[in-house]
Amino acid sequence: MSREYGICPLIKHREFSSLQKVWNAQLDSELYDQRSQSETVNSRLKRKYGAFVRSRRWWKQFRELAFACIVRNLDQAI
| Domain boundaries defined on the chain | 2-77
- Please name which of 68, 35, 36 lies closest in space to residue 51, comparing C-alpha atoms: 68
The average pLDDT across 24-36 equals: 80
Q: Is the pLDDT of residue 3 over 80?
A: no
Which residues 6+ apart lie within 8 Å of 59 measured at CB? none
Report yes or no: 68 and 54 within 8 Å, Cβ to Cβ. no
The average pLDDT across 34-53 equals: 86
pLDDT recorded at residue 62: 93
pLDDT recorded at residue 24: 85
Mean pLDDT, all residues of the chain: 86
The average pLDDT across 49-63 equals: 90
Q: Is the pLDDT of residue 28 over 80?
A: no
CA distance linking residue 54 with residue 70, whole number of Å: 17
